[in-house]
Amino acid sequence: MNYNSIFLFFFLMTGAGIASANGTDSVNLEMPPSSLEQWYKPVSKRHVWLHTMFALRREMQAIGEYAEQGGWAKMDKWISRLEKDYGKIAEMVPEWEDEIKLRLLPELKMFAEKKDAYRTAKTLKMIQRTCDDCHHSYQPIVTAIYRSPHYGDIKVKNLNGDEQSYEDSMEALSTSVNQILIALDDGYKSKALAARQNLTDQLQNLGGSCRHCHEKERYPHERILGKATKQKLDALESRISEGRVKESQQLTGEIAVSVCARCHNIHRIVNDLRNALVPDR
């Protein structure tokens, strides 16, 4: 499935639903409770809800493995942790209080104390099912709303050094790429070189905005705008200067794929879905 197909799929999902092959059925997207927002950035300083989910998964895995292996000595510790974190769900999102089954935790503890591996595993699976049911209903939407990038408050410098919106920055990048290709097609070497320099400067300015989300992480920037991209931009300058039009066109296309398309495939799909689901945020 290519980028356009993936985007169309998510775009269709943002309407009333997805029509089935016979045109009679649809899949509706249920929005999560508004109280969930307080446990995600930027409202929260850290993704509290997400880390609670990670803890729950780790705790259930430990209990399952120890039940299978007969490691009963460590069981009480992990069940106590599970009891605390599973109970947090209703405290953090009261609307989901009826979705969890707190009564299963004393049963889990009882079967573990009896070293009943079968009933311990069966009860754990019932707890896991409550998690799976919630994930099935909400996980994709929660990911789109709370874990996708939002660029509304990010500014990028333009070629004059003035701040501009992310949307305008993307438009400027697209313009420079096409200016290179148009100039190459029409035999204007100097215009192609100037447009290549504009593209290089614009990408450098864009790279500074990566820190807004990735903070001190260097790898995301390096992967898309790092050494390999710089080498391609330098090579493009050489090819244009040498009058190697077809190679220059091909290299421009490679840059568009390795930089623009790669970044879009990571960030744009979920961002577009997020904006369609919550356009006023």
What would the pLDDT profile of 160-180 be if each residue is shown by its tens digit? 999 999 889 999 999 999 999
Q: Which amino acid is at 96?
A: W
Q: What is the mean pLDDT of the segment spanning 94-100?
A: 94
pLDDT at 194: 97
28 vs 145, more confident:
145
Instruction: Flag the least confident range among 19-33, 121-135, 170-184, 227-241.
Output: 19-33
Judged against a pLDDT cut of 70, whether residue 252 lies above it is answered with yes
Model confidence at 147, pLDDT cuts 50, 70, 90, reads confident
Dump the DSSP string for the chain. --HHHHHHHHHHHTSS----TTSS---PPPPPPGGGGGGSTTTSSS-HHHHHHHHHHHHHHHHHHHHHHT-GGGHHHHHHHHHHHHHHHHHH-GGGGGGS-TTHHHHHHHHHHTT-HHHHHHHHHHHHHHHHHHHHHHHHHHHHHHSS---TT-EEE-TTS-EEEHHHHHHHHHHHHHHHHHHHHHT-HHHHHHHHHHHHHHHHHHHGGGHHHHTT--HHHHHHHSHHHHHHHHHHHHHHHTT-HHHHHHHHHHHIIIIIIHHIIIIIHHHHHHHHHSTT-
What percent of the chain is modeled with pLDDT above 70? 89
Range name among 3-7, 133-137, 179-183, 257-261 with the lowest pLDDT average: 3-7
The least confident of 1-5, 68-72, 205-209, 211-215 is 1-5
Kindly state the average pLDDT of the residues 30-59. Answer: 93
Selection from 161-170, 234-243, 269-278 with the highest mean pLDDT:
234-243
- Sorted by where each begins, the domain ranges of the chain are 1-30, 34-146, 155-277
Mean pLDDT, the chain, whole residue set: 87
For residues 217-227, one letter each, b for 16 or more C-beta atoms within 10 angstroms of the residue's C-beta and e for the rest, the string is eeebbeebbee
Q: What is the mean pLDDT of residues 206-227?
A: 83
Stronger pLDDT, 216 or 118, i.e. the higher one = 118
Q: How confident is the model at residue 213 (pLDDT cuts 50, 70, 90)?
A: confident
| pLDDT surpasses 80 at 197 | yes
Q: What is the pLDDT of residues 55-84, one digit of tens each?
A: 999 999 999 999 999 999 999 999 999 999
Structure tokens, 112: 């573990």
Report the pLDDT value the prediction gives residue 280, as an integer from 0 to 100: 65
User: According to the model, what pLDDT value does residue 263 have?
Assistant: 87
Fold type of domain 155-277: Four Helix Bundle (Hemerythrin (Met), subunit A) (1.20.120)
Is residue 37 scored above 50 in pLDDT?
Answer: yes
